[in-house]
Structure 1
């Protein structure tokens, strides 16, 4: 073999060796790696199942809470109507009595009281007649005061009834949106999950248990809401009167469980799990009070569903967002997101500036058992941005703190 042939032969062997070394052979996974992969897949499936369950329970709690609040609202409207009719009847009776009294005084003449005094024949008789005249005038003043108070009560009951009916209209609209969202979500999940009906029954049971806990927790703060105790603090002097309209300004929570439902943009619902969070340490209480006070500056301005203007019309979640934004604090846009964000606060630790979340509604707590919120589309004081009490007038789904 010639020298050149040897060289070519050696080069060919080297080339074959190099090429064969570059061929990638499949690497078989070890049993340990297979087990880890299966465990990862199992965890992912369990996480997906937990997310689905969380979403279902959240939707059901919000929907059921709204139905309960509507039933309670119907009872309040019925009672307000009865109280109004009773007060109106009393007002009419007092009015008729006042007319008779005025007629009697007119017929007696303006000098009757003076004549009664100057015709007294003795000091004792003078004292007696003086006391009589004073009693007559005291009686008239008392009756007039009672009549004025009754008229004021009638007006307050009219406003209460109008507000209650307006709130009911808002709840009914919210319920319709929630029902559509719930039905669409259930249909989607049923098409993707084999044993969905079984999971749905479990979710319904969990939702019922959570709603019972929420209802009990809400009822347990009645005394606190009425007295302003339980960490509620007191509002500033500018927030105490819920009926006076200022000038327009142009300027034990059951916590979140990872809500992910598709709610309407401005009135999202909320959800909660069944474990109360630890007592929340107070943040900057002064900032919280400033948030509460700032919200009260807009009392009397109008409500508008989907609106974002503090002066021309705004809805509940946009109101909460806009007030916080003035202090450089970011919150989600919809009430569903606002229930999920921030820090969970126990009912007993609620402070001015905290966000109170109901089903498809949110408000800012101002202390003294009161909230300020964009309520409904009726003119103030029945609707619009107003102060309401007690803060647990509906089922509270959670309290969140963003400051």
Structure 2
């Protein structure tokens, strides 16, 4: 009677944990999805930041080029200023030469013409006195016009250069404003990336806690189920010792029959001696609702950071990360035999590296699709996963 009550308690505990595990699996799935979304947002923000940084560098290059153009324009303006001064000097010299010839004309007659001409207050007024221009030699008139045209041309060129310089300075100001704007955007993206990294870290910690709790619940469920099975087996065989070929000499009850396991060749050594076996190769109930029901390896459950050893000597072919496997290592042992180590918290080898049997290659973790810290160990023969117990 007491045994039945114990079995009832164990059964109730198993059922309650069985109901809790799907909810726990849902939380894990949601947290994993959130982590993927946060990582996607971070990747997008980093891509945008990289594009903005390139844009900023392009703006800086354009500003440097514009500065060079402004300096070149200033040099051209300075040269035109010098040219303008010389043209004005040439014009004045021509005007003085004309005045000397006029003075000569005065001294030799034509008094009225000379007096009117000398009363002119400017070259323009001088030329506007049309009735006297005819008295000036064709040469003098032509030379004066040429000098005046030269002064005008140089002045126009100087004005055009100053306009171009002003436009370049306006462009420089616009580029500076754009540079400030892009720099602000880059700073904002950097802040966003920092916030996302914090959120990713917090989400990862939450995910690990959920996975560890799911693993704990799964272990409790397995232990409760095993206890219930032992109780049922003991209850069913009590009083029937005479009919059981495996009965003990005085107890009247038979011991549970151990499951038949493959006989190992011993070619491979235990990759995680500090752990206990939490799941064997083959069909099983999905742990936490996120594991495979067709288990292709053997699970070694132990604490995060526990050492993982190479099961045999060989060459590391892969050290990578996969969303399902997490951090993992693959070792080729030759003759079509290779081993796979998944969900590592850290890896200590690199692809192409030779390792010896028993060498510490990684640490136990719960990366990827995992309900708690453990090593998922697979053995592959000619590209097909086989039961590791055949080789251990």
TM-score norm. by structure 1 comes to 0.31
Between the two structures, name the one with larger relative contact order (CA 8 Å, sep ≥ 6): 1
Structure having the higher strand fraction is 2
TM-score norm. by structure 2 comes to 0.31
Computing the radius of gyration from Cα coordinates, the structure with the larger value is 2
